[in-house]
Amino acid sequence: MDIFEQNDQAITRNSLYGTAAESTYAGITSFMRRRYSRDLRGVDVVVSGVPFDTATSNRPGARFGPRGIRAASTGIAWERHWPWTFDPFDHLAVIDYGDCAFDSGMPESVPDSIETHAEKILTAGCAMLTFGGDHFISYPLLKAHARKHGALSLIHFDAHSDTWPDEDGKRIDHGTMFWHAAKEGLVDPSRSVQIGLRTTNNDHQGFEVLDARHVHRRGCDAIIEAIRARVGDHPVYLTFDIDCLDPAFAPGTGTPVCGGLSTVQALEILGGLRGINVVGMDVVEVAPAYDSAEITSLAAATLAMEMLCLYAARHKVDR
């Protein structure tokens, strides 16, 4: 088929599998040109967005993250993801499900809306790759995933621990989710690890912390080894707050912190985790209004593809 007959694959592609080229600068911007669909039959992985950012403690704007990541992904959707030796879309049926619906005028109802959204997808037997939105969205997503898989290992890339206490349990806050997740048994801190942290919080709830200086001094291979030793073969929820990257590589975020990882370091660490039992994934805190030349959105889209490769390697390719 002529390339000019392949435009708008988000609505015109016949198969959920495969990669095909179309103009990178035109067409409907589904993630990686996957078909937009709400039909979950035969689907392995559902990509969806949660455009919620009122739990942020600094600059708002991550509600536009899902749209920004999708748009940036069109520039890399024309070929196999490098340096992996297989195309995940040859092995995984992936759809773009669109965004989670919620009533922004009733913020107290949003967590339940996100959890219900995830529950429907997971109950259908699909895995999830979710785009935020601020990092709070990981909390209701973890609730739904833990209901299916039990207490999870958390691999958490971030500048912040997000384990600040919330004793009354009423805050909708992107800095308290993993305090709750640990307290409620959604994740097992003894099998979980946080990478890239560079803010002060003395209460880590038992998570192993490989902070940013640790990464810079020890190198990617040592970090990969430490993560593998920590999580073993336990079911893993993988969450990447884009502010884990240094602002030089990801300025488009709400709470940037100097001294972070480079995009190369993050990709090397993720790629080195091939074989881990990843069961759920998200990329959060992309705020395109503060971006420069879409480098943050592009980093997020590329990291998301790395996650899909990890998922395919464990659940399809290496079987």
Known binding positions? 135, 158, 160, 162, 241, 243
Order across the sheet with 153-157: list the strands: 35-36, 94-99, 45-50, 127-132, 278-284, 236-241, 153-157, 193-195, 208-210
pTM of this prediction?
A: 0.94
**14-33 core/surface letters (b: 16 or more CB in 10 A; e: else):** eebeebeebeeeebbbbbbb
Give the phi and the psi of residue 276 in degrees, each rounded to 5. Answer: -65, 155
Residue 245 phi, psi dihedral angles, 5° rounding? -75, 145
Q: What is the mean pLDDT of residues 254-278?
A: 97
Distance CA 41, CA 247 (A): 40
105 has pLDDT over 80: yes
* Lowest-pLDDT range of 24-28, 126-130, 189-193, 279-283: 24-28
Structural domain that includes position 300: 3-317
Average of pLDDT values for 136-147? 97
Residue 28: per-residue pLDDT: 86
Q: How far is CA 56 from CA 59, 146, 305, in A?
A: 7, 24, 25
Nearby residues of 229 by Cβ (< 8 Å), 6 or more positions away: none
Segment 29-60, tens digit of pLDDT:
999 999 999 999 999 999 999 999 998 889 99
User: Tokens 């409620």 sit at which residue?
Assistant: 184
**What is the spatial distance between Cα 204 and Cα 46, in angstroms, rounded to a whole number?**
31
Tokens at residue 69, please?
A: 């990541």
Amino acid at 305: M
Question: Does pLDDT of 319 surpass 70?
Answer: no
| Domain count for the chain | 1
Q: How confident is the model at residue 1 (pLDDT cuts 50, 70, 90)?
A: very low
CATH of the domain at 84: 3.40.800.10
Q: What is the pLDDT of residues 196-210, one digit of tens each?
A: 999 988 888 899 999
Per-residue pLDDT band at 194 (split at 50, 70, 90): very high
Nearby residues of 33 by Cβ (< 8 Å), 6 or more positions away: 9, 10, 13, 20, 22, 27, 73, 74, 77
Which positions make up the binding site for Mn(2+)? Answer: 135, 158, 160, 162, 241, 243
User: What value does the mean pLDDT of the chain take?
Assistant: 94
* pLDDT confidence band for 95 (50 / 70 / 90): very high
Is 293 a residue whose pLDDT tops 50? yes
- Residue 243, pLDDT above cutoff 90: yes
